Amino acid sequence: MQVKIEQIIIKTLVELNEELEDESLFNPNSKTKLYGTSNGIDSLSLVSFITDLEEKISDEFNKEIVLADEKAMSAKTSPFRNVETLTLYIKTLLEE
């Protein structure tokens, strides 16, 4: 499941980067920074990314999830730091 989630995240980033053309998002991997650093996407792009990702995860796993909820936003360590942390966060949401 974890590998599939990561693949979906990376595919969604590639699609987002077709519009952004952000050098830091070329060839994304598990360590690719998402948000909260100078090498991450901006807040508007993050919203678009989250919306697309929620839809793809829902289609693939047949379960609705909300990524930008109070739990995620109030977490001491943001799940949106990089692909790896987001993958693990989504996995926990799907297992609930």
% of the chain residues with pLDDT over 70: 96
Mean pLDDT check: name the lowest of 14-18, 25-29, 67-71: 67-71
Residue 36 pLDDT > 80: no
Q: Binning pLDDT at 50, 70 and 90, where does residue 41 land?
A: confident
- pLDDT tens column, 57-92: 999 999 999 998 888 878 888 899 999 999 999 999
Burial class (CB in 10 A: 0-12, 13-18, 19+), 6: buried
Measured from the Cβ of residue 68, the count of other Cβ atoms closer than 10 Å reads: 14
Q: Which domains, ranges and CATH numbers included, belong to the chain? A: 2-95 (1.10.1200)
Q: How far apart are CA 18 and CA 69, in angstroms?
A: 27
Q: Binning pLDDT at 50, 70 and 90, where does residue 38 land?
A: low
Are 65 and 46 a contacting pair, CB within 8 Å? no
Q: How far apart are CA 56 and CA 91, in angstroms?
A: 14
Q: Whole-structure pTM over 0.75, yes or no? A: yes
